[in-house]
Chain A
Amino acid sequence: MAERCWKTVGIEGDGSCPELAALAHCRNCPEYARAGRALLEREVSEEQRDQWTRAVCEPPPEQEAETFPVVVFRVGEEWLALNAHAVLRVVEAHPPHTVPGRTGGAFLGLVNVDGELLLNWCPARLLGLESQSQARRLLVAARDSERFVFSAEEVLGLRRVPRTALQNPPATLTRAPATFTTAIFELDGRNVALLDENRLFDSANRSLE
């Protein structure tokens, strides 16, 4: 194969290389890899050698603290978070179909999420917070085969939180969310309560009894 063939018959050229169809991209081609390795066949400058000498002398960079993913959302004035593995997806909010005799309190009714009728709760009422104004997003959460849809006013999305950033919720907290809150953490200047998804789901189920 010609030297720098990726420039002539490969992805940066006219794409006429017979191998290209099978490889999809020149980076999958051994010829490309060989050319890349050839870049290492160079003399090392004195400056580079000094830099390496300093680099291998120093202790290894500290491992970043272990993080875990959460979905952060807002209900009323409160910023809340759920473990990301409990959240299936976030969709646009639409008004729930009320269920006569059942709707009222925390249970809002049924919502259609991609053709599936799911139960929709207002997390503010489950948590005993002030009632929220307007739901703009629906969080679809799951525990095994159970599905729960929670209304939220705002969803920040997926965030990674270092475990070291978690603090115990204050013991003096008298409001109901304390019993659902496993930890609090700070995110961009906001205090976010990490909810225990199991307690939240249990409380949602109880509200239907």
Chain B
Amino acid sequence: MLLLLFQAAGQSYGIEAGCVVEVVPVPRLRPLALAPAWLAGTFTYRGTTIPVVDLPALVGGAPARPLMSTRIAVVRYQGEHLLGIMADNMTETLSCSQEELSSPGVRMDEAPFLGDLLPAATGAIQRVTVDRLLPDEVKERLFPDD
């Protein structure tokens, strides 16, 4: 499988490239009033307004930095919705096999999207499962049609 790598709060993460529609530079985002800090806002992607998750903020760190290397992965969330994932250093991909991944040992109920670890020379890369990214109450508000 191919992982799209990025960084959040100093740690490396990866999402499966199969669910990524496009990696785009960060445009001007329209903030969502009264939303949690990790919901960075919305932008118009190819004619559709889509929400953007600030992944570094979601995992408890500082928000994504306003640098050229910070990008948004437009992903297919739960099969039908488009969602933007913004993170730092989204500049590389890595090919790995399922066998190379190992369980992190600890499961955080607050972060059900964090998955298995891939050992790497620069520190382990943790897999992020896109479909589990949003808590139910946020998902219901962002995609009320379901």
Contact = CB atoms under 8 A, between A and B. Distances in A.
A52 B24 contact: yes
B68 A40 contact: yes
A55 B27 CA distance: 9
A32 to B, nearest CB: 15
B102 interface: no
* Range class of the B interface residue count: 10 to 19
A57 interface: yes
Given A37-B91, A40-B91, A57 B27 contact: yes
B47 interface: yes
Interface hub of A44, A50, A58 (most chain B Cβ within 10 A): A44
B28 A57 contact: no
A50 B26 CA distance: 10
B68 A42 contact: yes
A43 B66 CA distance: 6
Contacts of A58: 46
A59 B47 contact: yes
Contacts of B44: 53, 56-57
A59 B66 CA distance: 25
B121 to A, nearest CB: 11
Contact of B25 (A39, A42, A52, A59): A52
Interface in B52-99: 66-69, 91
Contact of A52 (B27, B46, B47, B66): B27
Given A49-B28, A50-B28, A56 B67 contact: no
B143 interface: no
Contact of B69 (A40, A50, A52, A56): A40
Contacts of A40: 67-69, 91
Contacts of B43: 53, 56-57
A86 B68 CA distance: 48
Interface of B: 24-28, 43-47, 66-69, 91
23 contacts: A37-B69, A40-B91, A41-B67, A41-B68, A43-B66, A43-B68, A44-B25, A44-B67, A44-B68, A49-B27, A49-B28, A52-B27, A53-B28, A53-B43, A53-B44, A56-B43, A56-B45, A57-B27, A57-B45, A57-B46, A57-B47, A58-B46, A59-B46
